[in-house]
Structure 1
Amino acid sequence: MPGLDTLRQTFAKVFGYGDSGEELRFFFAPGRVNLIGEHTDFTGGYVLPLALTYGTWAVVHPRRDRTFRLASTSFAGKVEIDADKVVYRQADGWANYPKGVFREFNRFKVRLSGYDILYDGNIPKAAGLSSSASIEMVTATALNQVESLDYSLIELTKLAQRAENQFVGVNCGIMDQFASGMGQAGNAVLLKCDTMEYRYVPLSLGDYQLIITNSNKQRSLTESNYNLRRRECEEGVNIVRNQLAGFVNLGNVSLAQWQVAKKYVTVPEVKKRLDHVIHENERTLASTLALEAGNIQDFGQYMIESHESLRDLFEVTGPELDALFEEARRVEGCLGTRMTGAGFGGCTVSLVHTEAVSDFKAQVTRGYKGKTGLNPTFYHCNSGDGARELKGR
């Protein structure tokens, strides 16, 4: 975590300020890792993410000319925007995420006064840990505070999701923004994505810990098959809706109901996508009960089953994530492992005994590099709090 004084000095250098005194304000929003419940959020199902201690910081200084100047410690140059003329530009890259948030506030008739904002983050880029949602949520939280608005955190998560859906063009569900906004240290959060009902789930893992492994296979959701998978699910929903009385969404379909309805889904790919989603919802609920009971052996098995379903039915893993999965399973002391995030590259999350962590890293690195030529990167997964303003110097 960068110190606030370091961020203050970097801000002054980037934007050419001297001592900006008390006008600077500091905000943070975390990334997230999803423990289980993958590709269920956009169909109204269950997810079980936690907020990370990795995330995005934003240093904010007010302007009076309704202009935004955006800079990042990770990218050269600045992006300048008129608050009344917020449009998507591919050349603006990462800055389109905060721009989408600006446009959402504009749509609610909030007259933004303009700001200089410096972003700094430590989430691996394109790793599936929701750096985009972190940027959106830190921006939304900052504007909500500095403009003295009264949007709740849940309202801000919905606003940030719309920014990604409608401005950036990724049809993500609510999970990423919700976890970034509503995370709580020491807990995962079970979320029903259609109703926004949620409860915190204590993470009492005993002698085990969660290890994130980055495949270092980069991917961009706007260039992947993510939107195709969503369309395939929507095609299946249109069929199932006509077969089940009182149908709401896939998140409300039981295994027994699916056995009745699945024979009407005749496109093999569509049937496989729905088969994954409905079973994944059941696994997520079972995983929650296992964690609450301290039964981490069962939780680890559900993680394995989840990856196998994402590989065989939803087909979003790919050779790199599958190689990490296979190598992790060979390590004594690893109870469970699975891909996390949208897939097509990114990360796995594994449940590893504390005394086996060093062996886990060494064995997975050796096997994975042998199969792919890539070196993985490992992160200890600690749960943190959600989006907030940071006080002090």
Structure 2
Amino acid sequence: MDATELRKKFAESYGYEEGVRTFFAPGRVNFIGEHTDYNGGYVLPAALTVGTWAAVSTRDDGVYRFCSTNFGTRLECSVHELVYKKEDDWANYPKGVLSELIQFAGPDKSKRYLGADILYHGNIPNGVGLSSSASIELVTGLALSELAGFDIPMIELVKLAQRAENNFVGVNCGIMDQFAVGMGKEGQALALKCDTLAYRYIPVKSYGYKIVITNTNKRRELADSKYNERRSECEQGVELIKKVMPHVQALGDLDLEDWERVRHVIKDHVISRRVEHVITENERVLAAVKVLEANNLTEFGALMIASHESLRDLYEVTGIELDTIFEEASKIDGCIGTCMTGAGFGGCTVSLVKEEAVADFKETVAENYTRKTGLVPAFYICEIGGGAKEMQEVEKQSQL
């Protein structure tokens, strides 16, 4: 589906095609640095070529209408009716972004948000850790701010989208997803310090290798409750460390030497393991940046494997399904790195696989995974793409 086809879908939904503009925001994958973002640590995500498209046209009556080719829910609301409603499902994300845009503009300039019709189309698999929610948020923020005539810097849209998810939707996420979706560059990962938002682009020269994302197709029932539990455990760790290092605000403030000096103050073995994962994971991200800059994919792959092992043994957020995919992927000749990506307890792994080994990877991993778990995995061959943008007529949609 290119921009022209998206406009046709818009016309089918709303009955007109004049004045329609089209926008895109990608999904994202995190190569390494899991559960470090909300601890003020380092992450290494990248935008993908899959994502969410939006066809948008301005109204002048203060009404916003949202519909999607992917979901049945359609919503119409006034600019004065922006409240969270569970029954509005996915549409709460664009509503939250619109609410934040209006607050960002202030009382006078907010009057330029006159209303709009929006059609969304996405090809990110839902609920597998590739950040479909942040993709919807950023494509909405960019589209509606452009239609209102505001040139909002992308970094501000990123912060605004995170606030929408935190404050409106009620998901206490870190900023990594929105940052990667908004600020991504083709062929490059983002080395990001999540508390300061200091970042730089790191080329991923994966010539001869493919990025293979494997979906466990395991429902993530435990993800939310365990996520909150892990956050609490990390916060408890920070409070204990503050007793001997009062300046520490988050685990991301500590390096390995610091940890060796203060680990004795944490007597609870569970909290100690959680803290150790975050600190060592931060070190792995920094090491990953160096080896990618040296174009050493083999060592990068080894760091991915070490990340998964830490998430399994210290942070305990993997589970049988992710661990089985990890174990089977690690056995494949040509797979130089593999690890879980996302919150865990289901979702996906990301692997670096030689092009000529991809077919064997998919066949063998699927066969052994299904035999051991009874579940059938799905595989996506992905490329690193750019961040949120307005589309041009010639641009084509990437297919998973």
Question: What TM-score comes out, normalization by structure 2 length?
Answer: 0.94
Q: Is the 8 A contact 1:38 1:340 kept in 2?
A: yes
| Structure 1 residue runs of 4 or more that deviate by more than 6 Å after TM superposition | none
1 CA distance for matches of 2:133 and 2:313? 28
1:170 counterpart residue number = 171
Stretch moving more, 218-227 or 301-310 = 218-227
Distance apart, 1:252 and its partner CA? 2.2
Aligned pairs (5 A) from 1:1-393: 2-15=1-14, 17-18=15-16, 20-21=17-18, 23-108=19-104, 109=106, 110-111=110-111, 112-219=113-220, 223-392=224-393
2 CA distance for matches of 1:147 and 1:220? 39
The CA deviation string for residues 277-332 of structure 1, in whole angstroms up to 9 with x for no partner, is 00000000001111110111111111111001111111111111111101101111
SS in 1 for 2:72: strand
The CA deviation string for residues 97-142 of structure 1, in whole angstroms up to 9 with x for no partner, is 1111111123222232111111100000001000000000101111
SS in 1 for 2:74: strand
2 CA distance for matches of 1:72 and 1:225? 31
Percentage of pairs with the same residue: 54
Q: Is the 8 A contact 1:170 1:221 kept in 2?
A: no
1 CA distance for matches of 2:316 and 2:73? 38
1 CA distance for matches of 2:147 and 2:236? 43
Stretch moving more, 225-234 or 367-376 = 225-234
Partner amino acid, structure 2, of 1:33? V
Distance apart, 1:223 and its partner CA? 4.1
Change (3 A) 1:351 1:222: closer
1 CA distance for matches of 2:227 and 2:246? 29
Distance apart, 1:220 and its partner CA? 6.5
Aligned residues: 389
Q: Which blocks of at least 5 consecutive residues in structure 1 are unaligned?
A: none
1 CA distance for matches of 2:246 and 2:84? 42
1 CA distance for matches of 2:161 and 2:45? 17
2 CA distance for matches of 1:208 and 1:70? 39
Distance apart, 1:248 and its partner CA? 3.9
2 CA distance for matches of 1:201 and 1:221? 33
Distance apart, 1:4 and its partner CA? 1.5
1 CA distance for matches of 2:174 and 2:65? 29
Stretch moving more, 192-201 or 118-127 = 192-201
1 CA distance for matches of 2:120 and 2:341? 25
Distance apart, 1:207 and its partner CA? 2.4
2 CA distance for matches of 1:127 and 1:133? 13
Distance apart, 1:222 and its partner CA? 7.4
2 CA distance for matches of 1:186 and 1:295? 16
Q: Is the 8 A contact 1:71 1:78 kept in 2?
A: yes
SS in 2 for 1:185: coil
Question: What TM-score comes out, normalization by structure 1 length?
Answer: 0.96
Partner amino acid, structure 1, of 2:91? A
Partner amino acid, structure 2, of 1:48? L
Distance apart, 1:269 and its partner CA? 2.2
1 CA distance for matches of 2:241 and 2:21? 50
Partner amino acid, structure 1, of 2:340? M
2 CA distance for matches of 1:392 and 1:353? 34
Change (3 A) 1:215 1:222: closer
Q: Is the 8 A contact 1:201 1:292 kept in 2?
A: yes
Stretch moving more, 359-368 or 69-78 = 69-78
Distance apart, 1:373 and its partner CA? 1.2
Q: Is the 8 A contact 2:238 2:249 kept in 1?
A: no
Partner amino acid, structure 2, of 1:349? V
For the aligned residue pairs, the C-alpha RMSD in angstroms reads: 1.4
Q: Is the 8 A contact 1:101 1:136 kept in 2?
A: yes
1 CA distance for matches of 2:268 and 2:289? 32
